[in-house]
Amino acid sequence: MTAKKTPTSSTRRTFVKGTAAATAATSFFIGRSAKADDPEVVVKIATVAPAGTPWAALLMNWKRAIKKQSERRIKVKTYLGGALGGELQAAEATKRGTIQIFAGTAGALASAVPELNCLELPYLFPTEKKADNILDNVIREDLERLLWDRGYKLLFYSENGFRSIGSTFPVETPADLKGRKMRSQESDVHLDSWRAMGASPVPITVTEVLSSLQTNVVDGFDNTPLFAFAASWYQAITHFTLTKHIYQAGLVVASRKFWETLPDEFKTIIMGDPAKLAKKGRRGVRAIGGMLEANFEGAGVQLNRLTADQRKLFAANSGEVWDKFRKSTSSDGKALLDKILKNL
């Protein structure tokens, strides 16, 4: 087992400074005078994003804006770091209405809306700009309908970003993953992606990954540099390989059961400006990406940047994951993937 690493003070300072600089707070709304008999509502927001991340800052800024615009009639409680459970549990609780808002990955919501798995097919989106255009301008209405039919109201996007591989061993080609136990997000497309690369995937909830790495239950994981640092997973690995094999969108959704109980005024306040919120969320994540990659070596983790030929090897078997999705998904899922491919 790899010895636990302690980040240098400069590493922590750089991460915190970069995060804060990328997520400065602004006010979104102008308030109005509250009446004594105005209704009040309590909103619980659940996310596995830890404190100190752009995700956390975005949600806290949004919370303050809602509080101000509603004259405190909307009481928002934000639960970070998986305080209300892992992503699957929180997404399911939001569908039931016991949690009002979920902020997380498309992969987690795919447990209730399997068609969303197409968003996380390996090597689907070549760039962030392409992903933004598809999500914002091509398929937003489709996602709104699919989510609504399965119990959710789409509010706005953010992102996790491009996922890469953290490991306790060197990774340069898919052959290096053969027989290795790799933590997988609890999603069919993620499990299939690992198998296509030759690994043995082990589905583990976010809150249990670090201990699983430290006790050799798994040999590695895939996620973004941001999440690897924010969740301290980097402490239990020796290598981080920039495969960038899955672009992972972030979605903020409300429970449909909850949404349908709200007065229109509250819906408007909570919804805010989806385009501006998405832009702010993405900008916060992307602003510190390069700095976090550089931080790996300062934290004692070897960073491996793949050549174009090495990257092709990782992408070579992704077609089998796409084929499996097409065979198992609904007509809506097939149509959604076709629409994405047509507009890439």
- pLDDT tens string, the chain, 344 residues long: the values are 444 444 444 444 444 444 444 443 332 333 344 454 566 899 999 999 999 899 999 999 999 999 999 999 999 999 999 999 999 999 999 999 999 999 999 999 999 999 999 999 999 999 999 999 999 999 999 999 999 999 999 999 999 999 999 999 999 999 999 999 999 999 999 999 999 999 999 999 999 999 999 999 999 999 999 999 999 999 999 999 999 999 999 999 999 999 999 999 999 999 999 999 999 999 999 999 999 999 998 999 999 999 999 999 999 999 999 999 999 999 999 999 999 999 99
Q: What pLDDT is attached to residue 16?
A: 41
Q: What pLDDT is attached to residue 138?
A: 98
For the chain, domain boundaries: 41-343
Which residues are paired to 157 by β-bridges?
251
Q: What pLDDT is attached to residue 38?
A: 62
Q: What pLDDT is attached to residue 8?
A: 44
Burial of residue 166 (number of CB atoms within 10 Å: 0-12, 13-18, 19+): buried
Q: What pLDDT is attached to residue 5?
A: 44
- Let me know: does 157 contact 250? Beta carbons within 8 Å: yes
Q: Parallel, antiparallel, or unpaired: how do β-strands 101-105 and 239-255 relate?
A: antiparallel
Look up residue 129 and give its amino acid.
K
Instruction: Measure Cα distances from 124 to 127, 171, 323 in Å.
Output: 9, 22, 13
Q: What pLDDT is attached to residue 1?
A: 43
Q: What is the pTM of this model?
A: 0.85
- Fold of domain 41-343: D-Maltodextrin-Binding Protein; domain 2 (3.40.190)
- Let me know: does 298 contact 11? Beta carbons within 8 Å: yes
